[in-house]
Amino acid sequence: MTAVDQHEALAQAYAGVTAVVAPLGDEDLQRPTRCRGWHVADLLFHLLCDAQRALVALASPADGPAVVDGVTYWRAFPSGGDGAARHAWWARRSAAAFDRPSGVVRVWTDTAPAAVRAAGVAAPAGFVTTQGYVLRVPDLLATLTTEAVLHHLDLVVDLPDAPPPAELPVRVAVTSLAGLLPDDAVRPADWGDREFLLKAAGRVPLTDSDRLALGEAAGWFPLIG
C-alpha cells in the first residue's frame, strides 16, 4: 500500500470515529465499550492521546533505519500487565476531568483532523520516532489506523445504529494483525474482517470450531492485547 493510501486510510479511520461520537449526547458518551472499565468518552480520550502522539511523532523526524514496521510495532507492547491497568485508570480519570463527556468530543474533532493534515505533508520516505521506536512514516500511519479501527469496533458495542469503520482502514488493520500470524497459519474461511479483528485483538474468544480450523495457530491468539 502506498504512502498516499496509508494517509487516506488514516483520514477515513479518524473520520469514522468522529461519525460515531459527534452525534452522541452526554448520556450516550457514557455507554460501555468493549474495553474493560471504559465508557465511550474514556475510550475516545485514549484515541485523542493517539492523535496527539501522532502530531508529536510527525514533527519529530529521525534518522533511519527503522527498528519496527507496521506489523512488528505491535510485538513491542506486551498485552495486559500492570502498565496497561495503570493506563486504563489514568485515561478514565483524565476523561472524567472534563466538565462533561462532550468536552472530549470537542477536543477530538479539533485534534484528529490536524493529525491527518500533518500526516499528509510528512515525507513519505521519512522516518519518525514514537514511544521510543523509529519507524517509517507510512508504517506509523498504519499503526494509527489499526488502533483507530479496533477502537471504532470497541466504541460501537452498545451503539447499534453507529456506522462501521470504512473498508480501506479495515483492510490496513487486517493486514497489520494478519502479519503477526505464523506464515503457515490459515484464517478460517468463515471469518469476515470484523470477526478476524475482534478475535485477533482478544475482544471475542475463539470457539471450538475456530481452534479446530486454526490448528496450532490458535495458540497465537489473541495476537495483541
pLDDT tens string 37-79: 999 999 999 999 999 999 999 999 999 999 999 999 998 876 5
What is the spatial distance between Cα 104 and Cα 77, in angstroms, rounded to a whole number?
Answer: 26
Q: What is the pLDDT of residue 80?
A: 56
> Domain check: are 13 and 44 in the same one?
yes
> Domain check: are 53 and 114 in the same one?
yes
Would you state the cell numbers that stand for residue 17, as one nine-digit string?
Answer: 470515529
> Domain check: are 197 and 121 in the same one?
no
Count of Cβ atoms closer than 10 Å to residue 211 Cβ: 16
> Domain check: are 161 and 187 in the same one?
no
> Domain check: are 187 and 83 in the same one?
no
Which domain range does residue 119 map to? 3-165
145, part of any domain: yes
DSSP 32: B
205, part of any domain: yes
Beta strands at 61-62 and 133-136: parallel, antiparallel or unpaired: unpaired
pTM: 0.96
What is the spatial distance between Cα 7 and Cα 5, in angstroms, rounded to a whole number?
Answer: 5
What is the spatial distance between Cα 125 and Cα 135, in angstroms, rounded to a whole number?
Answer: 10
Q: Are 176 and 142 in contact (CB under 8 A)?
A: yes
Q: Which of 19, 28, 1 is nearest to 148 (CA)?
A: 19
> Domain check: are 160 and 189 in the same one?
no
Would you state the cell numbers that stand for residue 207, as one nine-digit string?
Answer: 470457539
> Domain check: are 92 and 53 in the same one?
yes
82, part of any domain: yes
Q: Are 168 and 12 in contact (CB under 8 A)?
A: yes
171, part of any domain: no
> Domain check: are 126 and 187 in the same one?
no
> Domain check: are 25 and 50 in the same one?
yes
Q: What is the pLDDT of residue 79?
A: 59
> Domain check: are 130 and 194 in the same one?
no
Q: What is the pLDDT of residue 225?
A: 75
124, part of any domain: yes
Q: How many percent of the chain have pLDDT more than 70? A: 98
175, part of any domain: no
What is the spatial distance between Cα 126 and Cα 62, in angstroms, rounded to a whole number?
Answer: 8
- Domain edge (last residue) among 113, 139, 165: 165
Residue 28, Cα to own-chain centre: how many angstroms?
A: 21
173, part of any domain: no
Which regions of the chain are under pLDDT 70?
A: 78-82
Q: What is the pLDDT of residue 17?
A: 98
Q: What is the pLDDT of residue 2?
A: 80
Q: Are 122 and 20 in contact (CB under 8 A)?
A: no
Domain count, the chain: 2
> Domain check: are 199 and 94 in the same one?
no
What is the spatial distance between Cα 94 and Cα 130, in angstroms, rounded to a whole number?
Answer: 22
> Domain check: are 56 and 85 in the same one?
yes
Q: What is the pLDDT of residue 81?
A: 57
103, part of any domain: yes
